[in-house]
């Protein structure tokens, strides 16, 4: 039996579960969940996953597929930053994303993450992992490392256009103790 990503299926004892669970991506002081898009009918299952990881923020980079009130009632802030499927984010969304990552996790890369950020798109394979890769690059990974790191945790992440975007991404903040030759 085939079920679309994010849909639920009954367990033998009748309990519903997500078929495509969010992928946890932790690096240094940051914790992200990359997910496909919830719907109103399965949002409670996603909320259960989000609570296990102390999610504080949800970044929705696709068209809305669910109401945000249940998340907001739990104190989770939802950000609507849609951009084109298969594309890289526009500079304004990249800037907003990096500001959110900075606010949530701070600069101390040795501290334990306080909560997590969910990034989701329709399938959880393109736009959402792309944002996480950007955060990983800003935290010190090379573009190649960020692609591999995300793909190890979210199989199928990135199409060729998005991989190219990540490979060409230039870190916004200066690397401490590193020389840059121009």
Structure token pair of residue 103: 């606010």
Q: Is 80 a catalytic residue?
A: no
The single residue of 36, 85, 99, 108 carrying the catalytic annotation is 85
Cα 6 from Cα 91, distance rounded (Å): 29
H or E segment to which residue 153 belongs: helix 143-153
The single residue of 36, 57, 62, 121 carrying the catalytic annotation is 121
Q: How far is CA 156 from CA 92, 162, 169, 178, in A?
A: 26, 12, 20, 33
Query: If you count DSSP H runs as helices and E runs as strands, how many of each does the chain have, helices first?
Result: 6, 7
Cα 159 from Cα 128, distance rounded (Å): 12
Q: Is 121 a catalytic residue?
A: yes
DSSP reduced 3-state for 8: strand
CA-based radius of gyration for the chain: 16
Structure token pair of residue 71: 């998340």
Taking alpha carbons only, the member of 114, 118, 134, 141 closest to residue 29 is: 114
Annotated catalytic sites, by residue? Answer: 85, 121
């Amino acid at each position: 039996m085939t079920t679309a990503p994010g849909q639920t299926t009954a367990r033998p004892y009748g309990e519903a579960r997500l078929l495509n669970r969010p992928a946890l991506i932790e690096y240094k002081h940051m914790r992200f969940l990359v997910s496909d898009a919830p719907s109103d009918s399965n949002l409670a299952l996603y909320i259960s996953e989000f609570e296990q990881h102390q999610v504080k923020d949800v970044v929705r980079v696709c068209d809305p597929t669910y109401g945000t009130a249940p998340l907001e009632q739990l104190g989770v802030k939802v950000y609507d930053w849609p951009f084109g499927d298969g594309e890289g984010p526009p500079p304004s969304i990249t800037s907003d994303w990096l500001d959110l990552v900075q606010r949530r996790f701070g600069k101390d890369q040795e501290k334990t993450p306080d909560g997590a950020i969910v990034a989701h798109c329709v399938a959880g394979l393109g736009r959402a992992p792309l944002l996480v890769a950007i955060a990983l690059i800003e935290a010190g990974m090379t573009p190649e490392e960020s692609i591999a790191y995300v793909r190890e945790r979210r199989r199928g992440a990135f199409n060729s256009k998005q991989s190219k975007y990540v490979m060409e991404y230039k870190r916004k903040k200066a690397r401490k103790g590193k020389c840059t030759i121009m």
